[in-house]
Amino acid sequence: MNPQKDKALIGFKKAHSLLGKIIRMIEEDRYCIDIMQQNLAVIGLLKSGHQQLMEAHLGSCFKNAMDSNSPTKKQKMITEILTVSKLVNK
């Protein structure tokens, strides 16, 4: 596996664990600010994981598509990147 994907996976596993903690905190009626701080930690882990996956994708799949002689493959890859970029900015 790509080192960036490895880092993303670790971050996603941490986020998964923290989500369980957040659910328990809500069920226990813990202080709202404490819950929100944990939520922001999850958001940070997810954003970081997304960035690492994007870097891995650009360095492998995207690069391979751009190095190919297929205009269709190149356009498809560009469209995919633009679609994901638009979703990030919503």
Sign of CA dihedral 16, 17, 21, 23: positive
Query: Angle at the Cα of 59 (from 54 to 64), degrees rounded to 5?
Result: 120
pTM: 0.86
How far apart (Å, rounded) are the C-alpha atoms in residues 62 and 60? Answer: 6
Nearest to 65 by CA among 54, 77, 53: 77
CA gap 23, 40 in Å, rounded: 14
Side chain identity, residue 80: E
For the cut 80, the answer to whether the pLDDT of residue 1 exceeds it is: no
User: Per residue in 21-74, pLDDT tens?
Assistant: 999 999 999 999 999 999 999 999 999 999 999 999 999 999 999 999 999 999
Architecture of the domain defined by 3-88? Up-down Bundle (1.20)
